[in-house]
């Protein structure tokens, strides 16, 4: 199978201080990548993740930036290019605004927050790093969501922004080919909120054909697949246990 070699290359994972982003970093380190670990406010988590990368024998750098701040985004992109020596193998957009907004609470602010981090930031960061990605003939993987296809009632701004992200992925895949591939992973329920009760978990499991809640590693392995297979672009893999089929 055609394969993009990850070993020895540099990757940037945004929102990588915890949960799915951290699992993606772990998977990439296992694949032999050096990894830049981005966070906005979770410095301790990001440093722990970076330490695991170093323990695996790879290089790691922690980067802090508010990706909704365009100047901060541009500054971080310059730092990424410097660390990677101008050649970036993989860019993973994992940072996201996941905000529950019930129909009675829908407003412009929640819409703006979702669009800023979930769509605009990945678009601008990709453009800022496109030359480094071209030099490595690398790829971009965005973490979308199954709600991009089937929206959720209490997450209208979030689901809409993830649908926009998916369309952005397809557009960039066309615009940047053949030098850079752009794909997406759409998780379903892969982690429950910390305050979720057993009843909520049981209700969700009954709606998933594979009858289990997913794990961050399930998403991370899909990211690695898309990063390594050099004949896939403009695609989205749903990692949701089949829930999207119902």
Give 48-68 as a DSSP string: HHHHHHHHTT--EEEEE--TT
CB 49 within 8 A of CB 27: no
DSSP reduced 3-state for 103: helix
Residue 54 structure tokens: 């170093």
Pairing of strands 34-39, 90-93: unpaired
**Rounded to an integer, what is the distance from CA 10 to the centroid of its chain?**
16
CA-CA-CA-CA torsion sign (151, 157, 158, 164): positive
Cα(80)–Cα(174) distance, rounded to whole angstroms?
Answer: 24
Cα(23)–Cα(178) distance, rounded to whole angstroms?
Answer: 29
The residue among 162, 185, 175, 234 whose CA lies nearest residue 27 is 185
Cα(185)–Cα(166) distance, rounded to whole angstroms?
Answer: 9
Q: Which amino acids are annotated catalytic?
A: 158
Residue 125 structure tokens: 């960061």
CB 222 within 8 A of CB 185: yes
């Amino acid at each position: 199978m055609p394969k993009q070699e990850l070993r020895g290359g540099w990757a940037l994972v945004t929102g990588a201080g915890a949960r799915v982003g951290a699992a993606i970093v772990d998977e990439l380190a296992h694949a032999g990548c050096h990894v830049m670990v981005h966070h906005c406010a979770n410095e301790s988590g990001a440093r722990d993740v970076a330490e695991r990368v170093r323990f695996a024998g790879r290089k790691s750098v922690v980067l802090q930036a508010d990706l909704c701040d365009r100047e901060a985004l541009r500054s971080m992109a310059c730092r990424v290019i410097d660390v990677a020596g101008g050649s970036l193998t993989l860019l993973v957009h994992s940072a996201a605004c996941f905000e529950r907004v019930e129909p009675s609470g829908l407003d412009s602010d929640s819409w703006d927050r979702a669009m800023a981090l979930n769509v605009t930031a990945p678009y601008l960061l990709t453009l800022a790093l496109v030359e480094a990605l071209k030099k490595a003939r690398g790829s971009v993987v965005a973490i979308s969501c199954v709600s991009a296809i089937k929206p959720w009632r209490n997450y209208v701004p979030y689901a809409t922004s993830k649908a926009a992200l998916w369309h952005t992925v397809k557009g960039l895949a066309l615009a940047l080919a053949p030098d850079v591939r752009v794909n997406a992973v759409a998780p379903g329920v892969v982690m429950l909120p910390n305050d979720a009760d057993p009843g909520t978990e049981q209700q969700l499991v009954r709606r998933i054909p594979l009858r289990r809640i997913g794990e961050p590693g399930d998403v991370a392995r899909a990211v690695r697949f898309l990063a390594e297979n050099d004949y896939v672009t403009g695609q989205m893999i749903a990692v949701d246990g089949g829930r999207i089929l119902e």
